[in-house]
Amino acid sequence: MDIVYVRDLRVEALIGIYDWERSMRQTVRIDLEMGWNNSIPAHSDDINDTLNYKEAAKMISAFVADSQFQLVETLAEKIAHCLLAKFDLPWVKVTLGKPSAVTGSSEVGVIIERSREQH
């Protein structure tokens, strides 16, 4: 299976469990890896046969910006669910990080992989 990816998508979101986090937006960083058969668009050279990564990134950016989850685990799960449903992907891997969430670290977060069967 081929992979279509988006790296380092940054979105301002309301996320966190602490009162101070609920009063301000924070940057979250997202990497997406989406399973897709690229042999079809490679042969057709037709954009309509591709997984539209720009559309996927725009959809996830809007979703994250409008979200108000407490946990990064929940947000990552919802991102995976959105992508699997909208693009009929066989699988997706979501890396979701909160930069500077822990003193002394550059980022903390989660990495999840979900498949159509788990959806």
**Domains of the chain, residue spans:** 2-118
**Yes or no: domain 2-118 corresponds to CATH 3.40.50.740:** no
Crossing angle of helices 72-87/53-66, nearest 10°? 140
pLDDT digits (tens, 9 = 90+) for 18-42: 999 899 999 999 999 999 999 999 9
Element of type H or E holding 94: strand 91-99
pLDDT of residue 1: 87
User: In the chain, which residues have pLDDT < 50?
Assistant: none
Selected catalytic residue, list 58, 86, 93, 98: 98
Partners of 34 in beta bridges: 4, 92
pLDDT at 43: 97
Q: Find out whether 33 and 56 touch, Cβ atoms under 8 Å.
A: no
86 is catalytic: no
